[in-house]
Amino acid sequence: MDNAMPDKEIDDIYDTADILMKKGRWSLLDNLLEFYAMTAWRMPLDLLLTWATVTLPAKSKLKNRGRFIEACLKFHSNPNEPDLWKGLE
């Protein structure tokens, strides 16, 4: 069984993040990252990678992003894919 997120869901995350960033809703976006940091252990890898990618350009405005990335690395690092999170920190 394929556990990959459907493209539509990934597109929806990009659209949502784009709207939040354009409207300057940094605290809401930051709260989402805090939630995903606390629940990274049970979240699908595709979901976390999508949020890491979409928030990369705004990382200086998102205080919880570092904690989010740390949680992702802790729970979703794979020795067979050492570069999976490279460039998303």
Q: Where are the beta strands (DSSP E) in the chain?
A: none
Segment 62-79 shows an average pLDDT of: 94
pLDDT at 78: 86
Give 80's pLDDT tier (boundaries 50, 70, 90).
confident
Going by C-alpha positions, the residue among 26, 23, 71, 25 that lies closest to residue 47 is 71
Measured CA angle at 55 (ends 89, 71), to 5 deg: 50
pLDDT mean across residues, the chain: 93
pLDDT at 1: 38
Measured CA angle at 78 (ends 72, 82), to 5 deg: 95
